[in-house]
Structures are given as structure tokens and as C-alpha cells.
Amino acid sequence: MKSCAVISDVHANLAALEAILESISKDGVDRTLFLGDAVGYGPEPNECLDLLRNQAAVMVMGNHDSMVAGKSNIMRAGVYAREVIGWTRDVISIDNLQFLQKLPLVKYEEDFHIVHATPREPGEWNYIRTRLEAARNFRYFNTAICLTGHSHEPQIIELTAKGAVAYSYRKAVIKPDSRFIVNAGSVGQPRDGIPEASYIVIKNGLIEIKRVAYDILVTQKKMQEAGLPSYLISRLSTGK
């Protein structure tokens, strides 16, 4: 298995993305995989897409990418999300918009099934909230590991050989008989109560959740200047 860093839900937060990429450069991994939502919520969609297109070996489409690209119904999003999607459509470059429109919903890469939301119904943008939903989703991919994001809460869900579902929030050893649904959390807008940017490293038989502090004030100032909703600005400080 090639080693990799896994990042998701950047949401146009350049300061957070730069801090994560700096951290990844020290992890000594073979490549970086991106699980969707490059845009939405944050103030720098073009800068983040330019960086991701340059740095990520694999990219899939998130629900915000899809809404900006005109491929998912914007009315399913919350009022603040909708407002920023409108703003993003105004500022995004034609080249980046066309790139978003062509992103795949699912990618298969060696040992990984890669999708933004759920393997069961990738374009429906559902969440894996319960043990039952987790167990059900394990039936919809064939690889040992499924990589997901979308919830902005990093976690490792393990299905053991005996059929038990176990959760880890720091790290997990890749056992040959176990299968995993790994949620990378969010680079640009964590929601698990920890404001530090989140990502995953898979290396030497270990899946590890990592957190990186970044200059939140830099992003908040840019959001203010862009006139983005104050609720979205303040939530970065609490990670909720």
C-alpha cells in the first residue's frame, strides 16, 4: 500500500489549506488524496482550487462543489451555505468552474474507495450518523478502506472480522481482517469542537487523524472583507 495524506472539506480556507500542506510535506507520504468540497463557506475558492489541482493526486466532487457547478439542488443547503454558493459563483474563474463540473463522484484507487459523503448513495450527500448506517455502508464498497469527508468530524469506523463496528478518534491499526470507513474531517471548517484543521495520514499500517493549528484570524478577516455571513466567520473560532 502506498502511503498517503487524505484531506477533505477545504471550503475555500487558504490559510488552513496552506498549514495542512506544510504539515503533509513533513509526513513523508507518497501522495495526497482530496475528498471534495474545495469551495463554499470560505473566501478564497480560486486560490484553494489552484493549490489542490497542483497538489492532489486524486480529487472527487463534494456537495458544495456540485452546487457551485450547478449540478446539485442549492435549496437543500442551509441559508448561509446558499449565500456563499452565490458569492462563489460570482468570483470563481471559468477554468475552475469547468474543473468542478467535471469532478467524479467516486474514485477507486488501489486499496481505497474514495467518495465525499457515503459509498451507498454518493450523489445524495447523506451522512453516516449511526452504527446501523455505518454497517449498511460497508456493503457498498469492496476495498478494505473507504475514504470519506462531508460531516467535518474526523473519525475512523472499523468493521471487525466478527462483524462488530468500532470507532476511533485518534488512530487505528490496519488489521488484515478488518475494513474501515475513514472520515478525514475538515481542513477549512472543523465541527467537532476543535478549531484546528484536520486530515488523515495512512502509512506503515496505521491510520492516523492529525490536527494542525492555523491563523484563523487571517481567514476571518478575508471573510469580513468579502462580506460573508458573520455566523460562518465566528464558527471557525469554536470549531462548531
- As a three-state string, the secondary structure of 97-146 is HHHHHCCCCEEEECCEEEECCCCCCCCCCCCCCCHHHHHHHHHHCCCCEE
DSSP structural state of residue 150: S
Grid coordinates given for 170: 485518534
Which residue, 37 or 192, is less far from Zn ion as judged by CB? 37
Which residue, 64 or 113, is less far from Zn ion as judged by CB? 64
CA distance 47 to 25: 19
**Residue 153, interface with Zn ion (CB under 5 A)?**
no
Taking CB under 5 A as the criterion, the residue among 37, 153, 158, 192 binding Zn ion is 37
**Among the candidate windows 3-11, 83-91, 122-130, 138-146, which touches Zn ion by CB under 5 A?**
3-11
Which residue, 9 or 18, is less far from Zn ion as judged by CB? 9
**Residue 9, interface with Zn ion (CB under 5 A)?**
yes
Which residue, 2 or 76, is less far from Zn ion as judged by CB? 76
DSSP E strand stretches across the chain: 4-7, 31-34, 58-59, 106-109, 112-115, 145-148, 155-159, 165-168, 171-173, 179-183, 197-203, 206-212
**Among the candidate windows 2-10, 44-52, 92-100, 208-216, which touches Zn ion by CB under 5 A?**
2-10
Number of residues in contact with Zn ion, rule: CB under 5 A? 2
**Cβ at position 22, least distance to Zn ion in Å:** 22
**Cβ at position 64, least distance to Zn ion in Å:** 6
**Cβ at position 9, least distance to Zn ion in Å:** 4
Helix (H, G, I), strand (E, B) or coil at 175: coil
CA distance 78 to 107: 27
**Cβ at position 150, least distance to Zn ion in Å:** 6
**Residue 65, interface with Zn ion (CB under 5 A)?**
no
Residue holding cell 506503515?
204
Residues forming the site for Zn ion (CB under 5 A): 9, 37
